[in-house]
Amino acid sequence: MKRVQNLAIAIAAVGATTVAFGPAEALVRESWDPSLIAYSYVYYADAAKTEVLGYAWDTCGEGGGNVYVLKPYIPTPYYDETPAFVCSGMGPYLPPDWPY
């Protein structure tokens, strides 16, 4: 009887651990989807990038259970983009091994 009780406790512990770490594991897996990486932008008036016109940044959106990145309107083809964060169902996120 004691062995069955210990087995039941062990199974419950494994189940609880899976529930606790499952979403975080899924988040890390999704975080490197290029479509979920949000950027910050500096945009310029000319190709030489000598005159800054402004700054912009992506924002995260969610709808129908889907997460997406909303890109800003940038009025010129001359801009620099820098990875800023990853969008997730729990909001902006910086993965532990973020390389940028």
**12-66 pLDDT tens trace:** 554 544 444 444 444 445 446 788 999 999 999 999 999 999 999 999 999 998 9
Question: In the beta sheet, which residues pair with residue 12?
Answer: none
Q: Does residue 90 contact residue 30 with C-beta atoms inside 8 Å?
A: no
Instruction: Tell me which residue has tokens 């902006």.
Output: 92
pLDDT in tens, 82-100: 999 999 888 898 887 777 7
Q: Which of 28, 7, 11 lies closest to 86 in space, CA to CA?
A: 28
State the pairing for strand pair 79-86/66-70. Answer: unpaired
For the chain, how long is the longest CA-to-CA vector?
79
